[in-house]
Chains A and B, each alone.
Chain A
């Protein structure tokens, strides 16, 4: 399953991807951040700087719909790589907000999340399928069954064994070696491009607000400083 010929501008070229793995090395991160360090512009990006102690009105992300060039190809990829289940593919329907355009929707389910992903072919008024630009979102994340570090590592290993190239990871988004890449969230993750160069994160073991509450009580970042 090859990617489309059009490569969105935010897709990292192979040259840069070679450096991505080095983000797990502290010396490399420090080198990259040398200039803001020397110019005293560097600051902490740690979660501890912010307080997250109040629930929002939202429970979870219910659904995401993304444009694809070929539903059959994308469906096969999400079934094969993500183990998602095809729920249904619908007939053409009017585009919800583009007069004269049409869409065809393919609903995909995860193990515990029905129809969470919709693969959409978008047809312009002349009947041509549009090419996704890649510039609406950076990535979206699907949680790996088991939701633990070892589950994501096994998932990553499985993809590589099957010939699917990871574009990043597996890493842990914190600063703890050996997997930490200096980012935030605590989630263990690996990333793959789907056939339309949509960047898909496969993750687990993300930090929860309870972790922080246990550490800091109700104190906000500025109060802890």
Chain B
């Protein structure tokens, strides 16, 4: 099969990352972004989770079933050594201001600008760390 006929991907759809305390992270993401808790897969409810010894909490941005999932591995320890950051694009300028205001109220340390020096400029950006030290970049840009 040649390169011309290959089926490509269109977009980054969802991200599933490790956390150490599901309830703490759940509260963080809901409070900062209004993420919607959409499903729970637990070793006592899901065969796949039981086999992989994981528990997964699903969150929606409001359109798809899930956009972000928090995973707790019940045997292995997570770290920050395979991902540098992920960026969440807010809906509009008002949402950007709201997230920023909430981050301040939550006492989060705010890093101004884009996470990567080489990243393309956007309207506005700032970065915070979640309870597991994952870096989250919040960006405002025109909708896709």
Contacts and interface: CB of A to CB of B under 8 A. Distances in A.
Interface of A: 8-10, 12, 16, 19-20, 23, 28-29, 32-33, 36, 41-47, 49-67, 80, 82-84, 90, 93-94, 96-97, 103, 105, 107, 110-113, 115-118, 120, 122, 130, 132-147, 151, 154-155, 158, 161-162, 181-187, 196, 198, 201-203, 206-211
B110 to A, nearest CB: 13
A209 B12 contact: no
Contacts of B76: 9-10, 135
A132 B84 contact: no
Contacts of B87: 61-64
Given A113-B11, A138-B71, A208 B65 contact: yes
Interface of B is mostly: mixed
Interface in B8-48: 8-18, 33-48
Contacts of A41: 44
9 contacts: A32-B47, A49-B39, A83-B6, A115-B120, A182-B48, A186-B65, A206-B66, A208-B64, A209-B64
Given A67-B81, A158-B1, A198-B82, A142 B12 contact: yes
Contacts, number: 312
Given A33-B50, A57-B98, A162-B1, 8 more contacts: A61-B14, A61-B89, A82-B8, A96-B84, A105-B118, A142-B10, A203-B14, A210-B63
Contacts of B47: 23, 28-29, 32-33, 181-182
A137 B72 CA distance: 10
A63 B65 contact: no
A199 B1 CA distance: 24
A203 B87 CA distance: 20
Contacts of A136: 17-18, 78-83, 134
A111 B64 contact: no
A29 to B, nearest CB: 4
A55 B89 CA distance: 14
A83 B8 CA distance: 4
Interface string B49-80: 01110101010111111111101010011111
Contacts of B41: 45, 183-184
B65 A112 contact: no
Given A58-B91, A93-B116, A158-B7, A66 B82 contact: yes
Nearest to A30: B47
Nearest to A111: B10
Contacts of B18: 135-138
A65 B114 CA distance: 12
Contacts of B52: 12
A145 B7 contact: yes
Contacts of B90: 57-59
B141 to A, nearest CB: 7
